Amino acid sequence: MSVKPMTRREFTLRTAGAAAGAFVSVRGEPGQARQKSTTLRVDGDRLNRWVKELSVFGRTPEGGVSRVAFSEADHQARSYVRRLLEEAGLDTRIDAAGNLIGRRTSSDPLFPPLWTGSHIDSVPEGGNYDGNVGSLAAIEVVRTLQERSVALRHPLDVVIFSNEEGGKTGSRAVSGELERRELELPTASGRTIGEGIRFIGGDPARLDEARRGPGEIAAFLELHVEQGGILEQAGVDIGVVEGIVGIRRWNVKVQGFANHAG
């Protein structure tokens, strides 16, 4: 992962500036959009409470989570998050690839949606922040926009992708990269990817409907915990990811015999 450190001040200025200039307006108070939007603050206590509540699903004795995609714990956690989306006033649906999507409608139906969100499945023996923070923070942002009556020109979709850790099923279905033969692959849940999609409410027979073409999503933003310690060591609160580690896995069979050198 290559991260360019950015101070919190720089980040706030950039994002608030972009938001105010690009698409934010406050209902009934046109000329004051900029002033209002820069003073928005999320409720950190509420967000932390949700992180804690979500951590119950698949909790391990060590305090982490084993919530592999398509497991019972994953299914229950998705139901919990769907309730949060509904409480935030969003219209929820599950797309054909099993992605959970909540939509906040916009003041102008002609603009394509902004997407934000992450995943809530985990690797076996995973932590409580990977994916969860980005998912729940997205909902918190929507709740804050609702409470402050901030109208956006774009619809705002919160998306919880399916099976991020076992093949990036949901996100690759959206980008059109998911291949039909992958539906037969087994997952750590004991279900194949196809069975798993059906288990969480999707429909693998209609995968193509989950696909979004160029221009159909205005922008996508994912908040994610740092997958390393660079920012933490540097004392920087937030950074923008410019590249990530590419993972390749091979099964290698070596024929021969073992001797003292291996």
Position 95 contacts Zn ion (CB under 5 A): no
**To the nearest whole angstrom, how small is the minimum distance from the Cβ of residue 165 to Zn ion?**
7
- Interface region with Zn ion, contact rule CB under 5 A, candidates 87-95, 124-132, 178-186, 187-195: 124-132
Contact pattern from residue 141 through residue 180 relative to Zn ion, giving x for each residue in contact according to CB under 5 A and a dash for the rest: ----------------------------------------
C-beta closer to Zn ion: residue 36 or 168 = 168
C-beta closer to Zn ion: residue 24 or 54 = 54
Helix (H, G, I), strand (E, B) or coil at 109: coil
Q: Closest CB to Zn ion belongs to which residue?
A: 131
Which of 207-230 are b and which e, b meaning 16 or more Cβ less than 10 Å from the residue's Cβ?
Answer: beebbbeeeebbeeebeeeeeeee
The rounded distance, in Å, linking the Cα atoms of 61 and 91 is 36
Amino acid at 237: D
C-beta closer to Zn ion: residue 155 or 239 = 239
To the nearest 10 degrees (0 to 180), the angle between helices 72-87 and 44-54 is 150
C-beta closer to Zn ion: residue 152 or 222 = 222
Position 74 contacts Zn ion (CB under 5 A): no
Q: Which two tokens stand for residue 30?
A: 């046109």
C-beta closer to Zn ion: residue 74 or 130 = 130
Burial of 170 (0-12, 13-18, 19+ CB in 10 A): buried
The rounded distance, in Å, linking the Cα atoms of 77 and 162 is 12
Position 117 contacts Zn ion (CB under 5 A): no
Position 64 contacts Zn ion (CB under 5 A): no
Count of beta carbons in the 10 Å neighbourhood of residue 2: 10
Site for Zn ion in 125-144 (CB under 5 A): 130-131
**To the nearest whole angstrom, how small is the minimum distance from the Cβ of residue 134 to Zn ion?**
7
The rounded distance, in Å, linking the Cα atoms of 42 and 255 is 58
C-beta closer to Zn ion: residue 37 or 128 = 128
C-beta closer to Zn ion: residue 17 or 228 = 228
133 close to 225: Cβ distance less than 8 angstroms? yes
129 close to 193: Cβ distance less than 8 angstroms? no
Position 222 contacts Zn ion (CB under 5 A): no
- DSSP code of residue 153: S
**To the nearest whole angstrom, how small is the minimum distance from the Cβ of residue 69 to Zn ion?**
12
Interface with Zn ion (CB under 5 A): 130-131
